[in-house]
Amino acid sequence: MTFKLHRRTMLRGLIGGTAIALPLPRLLGMLDGNGTALADGSPLRPRYLTWFFGNGADPAHWVPAATGIGDAWAPSAALMPLAEFKPWLTVCSGFNVVVPAIYAHKSAPAAVLTGAQAMQGGDVQLPSIDQLLAPIMNADTAFPSGLHVGISNVTGAGALDFNISFSGPNAPNPPNYSPAALFASLFALSGSLEPDPSLFRRKKLLDAVSADAAELRVKLGAEDKERLDRHLDGVDQLQTQIDATITGADCGMPIDPDVAYPDRGADGEITRARCQAFADLLVFALSCELTRVATQVFSCAACHAGYPEAGLGNVTFHEDFGHRLSPMGVDYGTNGFHTGVEYTMSCLAELLQRMRDTPDGAGNLLDNSLVYVTSCVGLPWDHRMDDFPMLLVGKAGGLFRGDIHHRAAGDSTSRVPFTVMKAFGSPAATFGDAEGMTGDAIPEILA
């Protein structure tokens, strides 16, 4: 026998006061008269996303010719696919990875994501920037540690595995490569469904699992306790999501990737349609504040995948173009590398376009977000770590000026994520460790 109850009956009758309140989508009606704060006077909370692509960029192709604000600068060839987002664009050039180059393909991505050296076996020493922000701005959402998605699932020379988000050493947040799976999660949370009795059964099971874990926990050493606690965080997150499913306000429906992009390619393939599918879903989740923190890895550090849609053949982009080892010669390699970077940026543009076109408060989602775009290397064929590719896109609710090319004179790359951290209200005085540590923000790029 199954039974069906009206959503509100369910809410009151079955779980009553135990339901937790999740943030509602930020519609204009919920804001104050100016659209600059919530109706109760609390400030708008911006969203954050790390967008990572492997294999770096050629500064000659990437760095805009002129520096300055507004009309003073124009996008470079590599950034032309982002030209329509110039008002939201902060190009940070002239920053160098100052962490020693110990591990090819590891030291640099670890430095720009965590501010510290990599470990050969254990990936990173410190949490990545998104995981520093999550506790201060995302704890009350359905995905407290954020949403983490990926386009390519091809490995990269043993770099940081597939990961760009780390809660700490040996605690990665691996990307989800399946738009269909993410759609299913978000659809359940969208508030557009009648809650199902199976939700309550799932909660019972998770309660039993938590009880098992609590009994096991007391027998464990310190490191195992940490690992089990992280497992329990996941159990708690599921419980939260079930509550959110039951109580969530109606956000409308996320776009079903199987309907919109039936021919998008297999999970893990690099295609524009897969970028579009994830862009739809990320924008839905961020807009509805199901999470305020997310990461997207287009391709992992030193990724060995190919970019067939960019006309670059079924070869590994890393070898043939990143290292210019194509049998067609060095010039072909250089040009193909530039083509691949432009293609990569055009896939990023799919996300930015949807953010700009999604109303949020008095403006749009791009106004109220910040996207940190970076890579694993500078000029790839020499494994350079200077003049590193770093962009910030969006204004984070007015915290960032936008439309600026700021060029540093070889400053530490850590200054860029540190600036983001401080802008988002982190109380931390520094970011990173050892050579990579900084307490120096970049005032020029802030509003």
Contact 241, 185 (CB under 8 A): yes
Find, among 292, 219, 282, 290, the residue nearest to 249 by Cα.
290
**Residues of this chain, 288-327, that bind another protein according to CB under 8 A:** 304-306, 313-316, 319-320, 323-327
Among the listed residues 19, 37, 69, 238, the single contact to another protein using CB under 8 A: 238
**Residues of this chain, 1-40, that bind another protein according to CB under 8 A:** 1-2
* Parallel, antiparallel or unpaired: strands 404-412 and 68-69: antiparallel
By CB under 8 A, residue 153 contacts another protein: yes
**Residues of this chain, 364-393, that bind another protein according to CB under 8 A:** 381-385
Contact 399, 46 (CB under 8 A): yes
| Separation between Cα atoms, residue 12 and residue 174, nearest integer Å | 37
Angle at 30 between CA 27 and CA 34, to 5 degrees: 95
**Residues of this chain, 74-103, that bind another protein according to CB under 8 A:** 100-103
Region binding another protein by CB under 8 A among candidate stretches 31-39, 88-96, 168-176, 294-302: 168-176
**Residues of this chain, 261-290, that bind another protein according to CB under 8 A:** 267
The structure tokens listed for 82 are 């982002």
Report the interhelical angle of 272-287 vs 330-356 (nearest 10°): 30
Region binding another protein by CB under 8 A among candidate stretches 16-24, 152-160, 249-257, 402-410: 152-160
Q: What would the x/- binding string for another protein be over residues 101 to 130, using CB under 8 A?
A: xxxx-xx---------xxxxxx--x-----
153 or 375: CB nearest another protein: 153
| DSSP state string for 71-86 | GG----TTTGGGGGGG
**Residues of this chain, 415-444, that bind another protein according to CB under 8 A:** none
* Shortest spacing between CB 59 and another protein, in angstroms: 15
Among the listed residues 13, 70, 87, 234, the single contact to another protein using CB under 8 A: 234
Among the listed residues 83, 208, 266, 428, the single contact to another protein using CB under 8 A: 208
Region binding another protein by CB under 8 A among candidate stretches 4-12, 23-31, 194-202, 341-349: 194-202
* Shortest spacing between CB 21 and another protein, in angstroms: 20
Q: What Cα–Cα distance (Å) separates residue 375 from each residue in 109, 140, 379?
A: 7, 30, 11
Provide the 8-state DSSP code for 144: T
Q: What Cα–Cα distance (Å) separates residue 3 from each residue in 37, 194, 198, 203, 440?
A: 41, 12, 11, 17, 59
